[in-house]
Amino acid sequence: MARYVTTDLHGCLHSFRHLVEEKLKLRPQDQLYVLGDYVNKGPDSCGVLDYLMQLPERGYQVVCLRGNHDQELLDAAHGHQHLLWASAHDRQLTLDSFGVAAAEAIPESYLRWLNNLPYQYELPDFVLVHAGFNFRLPPAEMRQDWHTMLNTKQFVFDASRLGGKRLLHGHVPSPTASVQQQVKHQAQAIGLDTGCVYRHNEELRHLAALELDAFHLTLQPNIEPEYPIAHRG
């Protein structure tokens, strides 16, 4: 049995599917953990959700967490348009993938799946979350601070507040070489978002999957069909 963690798919169905089926060669006895942000920015948000929803039906063990973009799509679909939801261009890409004109028209099956996503997941040796925690809070409060868990871009890691466990998260795109160094040195907190969706950025444009027991990092380049997205930064 192998345990894999990856994150921030952002509509990159071809890249994710190739990672799962060709690079990891996922087996039913393996465990796959995905740390959120399945939608927005990329070309096929709907396709990514379809694939994630089908994997357990095909006998695979998959745990998906909630990301800020997943929450933003849920909020928009429930009519909270005043809340932040991507850029106008990103919104259109996402809506087109579902074949709808407005977020409120996204089929209920997708919204129900997104709404059931947990904010965090605990393994015997790791804590998984989309963005991170506010480690200044007491542990019980820290794990109820949903906004930080979805949105924080920086934190001072304190392993004592996680029972000595390592932290794995996504959310902030980091150069692939930087993530490789974190893994090589077995850092206590590792961000696995290597910005797959930013296909023009040579330092990013990968999905990263960490195998937890061998501590081996697998990288999958963006192989999506052409889609419009600006350079990041």
Mean pLDDT for all residues in the chain: 95
| pLDDT tier, 233 (very low <50, low <70, confident <90, very high otherwise) | very low
Q: Which pairs with CB-CB distance under 8 Å and at least 24 residues apart come from 78-81?
A: 78/104, 78/111, 79/104
Q: Model confidence over 53-93: pLDDT tens digits?
A: 999 999 999 999 999 999 999 999 998 866 666 677 888 89
Query: Taking the domain 3-118+173-221, which CATH number applies?
Result: 3.60.21.10
Q: Model confidence over 115-149: pLDDT tens digits?
A: 999 999 999 999 999 999 999 999 999 999 999 99
Name the pTM for this structure: 0.96
Which phi and psi angles does 47 have, rounded to 5°?
-65, -40
| pLDDT tier, 192 (very low <50, low <70, confident <90, very high otherwise) | very high
Strand intervals (E) in the chain:
3-6, 31-34, 61-64, 120-122, 126-129, 166-169, 189-191, 206-211, 216-221
Contact status, residue 69 vs residue 40, Cβ threshold 8 Å: yes
Predicted confidence (pLDDT) at residue 216 exceeds the cutoff of 90: yes
pLDDT of residue 232: 54
